[in-house]
Amino acid sequence: MSDGRQERPNILYVFSDQQRASAMGCYYGDEDLNTPQFDAFAAEGMRLDAAVSSTPVCTPYRAMLMTGKYGHHTGVTTNLFYPDLSVYPCIGTALSANGYRCGYIGKWHLGEIQVDAGDPLRLGFDDEWYVGDNAHNYYEWAYVTDSRDPIAGSGFYRSQIETDRAIEYIKNRTGTGPWCLFMSWGPPHPPLIAPDPYVAPYLDRDLKLHPNTSKLTGNRASNVSDWYAHYYGMTEGLDIEWGRLMRALEESGQADNTIVMYTSDHGEMLGSQGLRGKRWPYRESTQVPFLVRWPGRVEAGCSLNMPFGTPDIFPTLCGLAGVDVPAGLDGGDFSGAILGQSNARSQAYAYTTMHHTFAVWPGWRGVRTERYNYARLENEPWFLFDLENDPYEERNLVGEDPKLVAEMDGLFQEAMGTCGDTWRGVSQECGDWKAWQGEKQVQQQGLDAVYPGSEAVREWANRREKRE
């Protein structure tokens, strides 16, 4: 009789940092970007066309990924704020309890301390520990390993070292029972500095920008093509690493019994709507690529239009692996939808939330449906876009279509009530938001855009400039 644990599928979950959904050839938008490895992988499995980062900033996404719970339940609503997540059921502990050996490689961003195997703060990832935190200095963060040795490599090239480590991990797992490896790449997160061989082809081209970058003014308008070139260069570099990783998995003989997922923690505005970075409810910030392959189980070359949020990842992975979903998660198990089952559970929207943002406190909340992207403030709707007819969100339907706005607001109120969110409930003074709006945060933003609270940010920036 075979060991039941051996029959469980392996899991390889890889995510980049700040890669918007459009930054992949098989999605809409960034048509000049070359990603042949990702595109080929998408043709071998399922592409999720309405996957969102439910809170589009690094640490809140990662906490949500691990716990399947929204930030207003864990307290993780911004960066540099690290409550103890081990008090909740986590994906690593749930899989480990069911016979999986769980490893983690890359950016952690859920704490700044060295922890040894078996420590609850490892959240169940005790088989391999090769992580660091880039909260303070982007790519030059101090890595830690089980051996406590420093790790060589910097900038984009650290992704190559991480891929090497993942390849070794996969090779060494052959015949050892089910394993789960999470790998978190740093690029294409700023600073936008791609290796010369990757960026050169894009610097020499007249790149087609998203039409909503027209709101940029001054130096930002003249620099946006360079932003695109370096962003594309780093993304194409990841595509090359992805090809290496997939070939290694195939050569190990484990590809047919491995669920592989690729996504990102959030997107990047890259000048769209006159903005940079994340934390915004617009599509470039919230929508992420999400690809799933499981040969023989997930139909090749298919897509799923159902909205899918970050809290759904943990329970859906459990469902695919045949592991019981822990009670109390905010997300849902949509493994049936991914497997193409006729009676599969589905949902009409994914809830999005951001307490700590540049919009007036307490931030924004929203819902993403297959067709619409809706965001509102505490006191009024902010925007509503019809993505089917307006993919770059240039025509705000708030004020134009009150009936549709009321319908979407009804979904929003339902979503907010279902997940137990309120417009307060968390501290305004925490993490990187202890200083009002965060000096570093303001410096990173473009001031070309008009958004709720933009005048206050401009006044703050002007006062600061006069002081200096």
Residues 241, 247, 252, 256, Cα dihedral to 10°:
110
Q: Please name the residues in contact with 172: beta carbons below 8 A apart, sequence gap of 6 or more.
A: none
Q: What is the pLDDT of residues 151-208, one digit of tens each?
A: 555 678 889 989 999 999 999 998 878 999 999 999 999 999 999 999 999 998 999 9
Q: What is the DSSP letter of 226?
A: H
Tell whether 107 and 170 lie within a shared domain.
Answer: yes
Tell whether 98 and 204 lie within a shared domain.
Answer: yes
Our separate counts of H helices and E strands in the chain read 14, 13
Question: For residues 376 and 454, which has the higher predicted lDDT (pLDDT)?
Answer: 376
Percent above pLDDT 90 for the chain: 72
CA atoms lying within 13 Å on the CB side of residue 190: 14
pLDDT score of 137 more than 60: no
The answer as to whether 357 is a domain residue is yes
Three-class DSSP category at 245: helix
Q: Nearest 5 degrees, angle CA 455-CA 287-CA 83?
A: 75
Q: How far is CA 467 from CA 109, 437, 444, 460, in A?
A: 33, 18, 19, 11
Q: What is the pLDDT of residues 324-350, one digit of tens each?
A: 999 999 999 999 999 999 999 999 999
Residue 279 backbone class (left: φ over 0; alpha: ψ -120 to 50; beta: rest): left
Question: pLDDT category, 92, cuts 50, 70, 90?
Answer: very high
Q: Exposed/middle/buried for 294, CB within 10 Å: 0-12, 13-18, 19+?
A: buried
Which residue blocks in 48-105 are alpha helix, DSSP H? 58-67, 71-74, 91-96
Tell whether 443 and 313 lie within a shared domain.
Answer: no
Tell whether 376 and 315 lie within a shared domain.
Answer: no
Query: Which range, of 19-28, 332-341, 446-455, averages the lowest pLDDT?
Result: 446-455
Confidence (pTM): 0.94
Question: For residues 49 and 454, which has the higher predicted lDDT (pLDDT)?
Answer: 49
Question: For residues 2 and 224, which has the higher predicted lDDT (pLDDT)?
Answer: 224
Tell whether 62 and 211 lie within a shared domain.
Answer: yes
Three-class DSSP category at 416: helix
pLDDT score of 278 more than 60: yes
Q: Please name the residues in contact with 26: beta carbons below 8 A apart, sequence gap of 6 or more.
A: 35, 38, 39, 42, 43, 47, 291
Cα–Cα distance for residue pair 99/205, rounded to 1 Å: 51
The answer as to whether 449 is a domain residue is yes
Across residues 311-333, what is the average pLDDT?
98
Identify the pLDDT of residue 188: 96
Tell whether 146 and 279 lie within a shared domain.
Answer: yes
Identify the pLDDT of residue 413: 97
Please identify, among 311, 338, 365, the residue that sits at the C-terminal boundary of a domain.
338
Q: Is the peptide bond before 188 cis (omega within 30 degrees of 0)?
A: yes
Cα–Cα distance for residue pair 49/288, rounded to 1 Å: 9
Percent above pLDDT 70 for the chain: 88
Cα–Cα distance for residue pair 20/392, rounded to 1 Å: 13
Identify the pLDDT of residue 135: 39
Q: What is the DSSP letter of 351?
A: E
Question: pLDDT category, 444, cuts 50, 70, 90?
Answer: low
Identify the pLDDT of residue 305: 98
Tell whether 330 and 393 lie within a shared domain.
Answer: no
Which residue blocks in 329-372 are alpha helix, DSSP H? 335-338
Identify the pLDDT of residue 446: 56
Please identify, among 338, 369, 386, the residue that sits at the C-terminal boundary of a domain.
338
* Sole residue written with tokens 């370096």: 230
The answer as to whether 214 is a domain residue is yes
Question: pLDDT category, 4, cuts 50, 70, 90?
Answer: very low
The answer as to whether 459 is a domain residue is yes
In terms of residues, how long is the chain? 468
Identify the pLDDT of residue 355: 94
Tell whether 211 and 281 lie within a shared domain.
Answer: yes
> What's 459's domain CATH number?
3.30.1120.10
Question: pLDDT category, 450, cuts 50, 70, 90?
Answer: confident
pLDDT score of 140 more than 80: no
The answer as to whether 122 is a domain residue is yes
- Residue 359 phi/psi, 5-degree rounding, is -65, 155
pLDDT score of 87 more than 50: yes
Identify the pLDDT of residue 440: 53
How many angstroms from the chain centroid is the CA of residue 16?
A: 7
pLDDT score of 2 more than 90: no
pLDDT score of 142 more than 60: no
Residue 280 backbone class (left: φ over 0; alpha: ψ -120 to 50; beta: rest): beta
Identify the pLDDT of residue 181: 96
> What's 162's domain CATH number?
3.40.720.10
pLDDT score of 420 more than 70: yes
Residue 99 backbone class (left: φ over 0; alpha: ψ -120 to 50; beta: rest): left
Identify the pLDDT of residue 466: 61
How many angstroms from the chain centroid is the CA of residue 334?
A: 18
The answer as to whether 159 is a domain residue is yes
Cα–Cα distance for residue pair 31/455, rounded to 1 Å: 35
pLDDT score of 131 more than 90: no
Tell whether 48 and 128 lie within a shared domain.
Answer: yes
Which residue blocks in 262-371 are alpha helix, DSSP H? 283-286, 313-321, 335-338
Tell whether 289 and 415 lie within a shared domain.
Answer: no
pLDDT score of 238 more than 60: yes
The answer as to whether 168 is a domain residue is yes
Identify the pLDDT of residue 432: 82
The answer as to whether 343 is a domain residue is no
Identify the pLDDT of residue 430: 87
Across residues 431-443, what is the average pLDDT?
62
Q: What is the pLDDT of residues 101-123, one digit of tens each?
A: 999 998 888 887 677 888 899 99
Q: Is the peptide bond before 191 cis (omega within 30 degrees of 0)?
A: yes
Tell whether 106 and 237 lie within a shared domain.
Answer: yes
Three-class DSSP category at 77: coil
pLDDT score of 402 more than 80: yes
Tell whether 102 and 157 lie within a shared domain.
Answer: yes
Give the total number of structural domains in the chain. Answer: 2
Q: Please name the residues in contact with 113: beta carbons below 8 A apart, sequence gap of 6 or more.
A: 121
Identify the pLDDT of residue 403: 98
Question: pLDDT category, 463, cuts 50, 70, 90?
Answer: low
Question: At 77, which amino acid appears?
Answer: T
Please identify, among 338, 364, 379, the residue that sits at the C-terminal boundary of a domain.
338
Identify the pLDDT of residue 3: 40
Cα–Cα distance for residue pair 64/328, rounded to 1 Å: 13
Q: Which domain holds residue 396?
A: 350-467
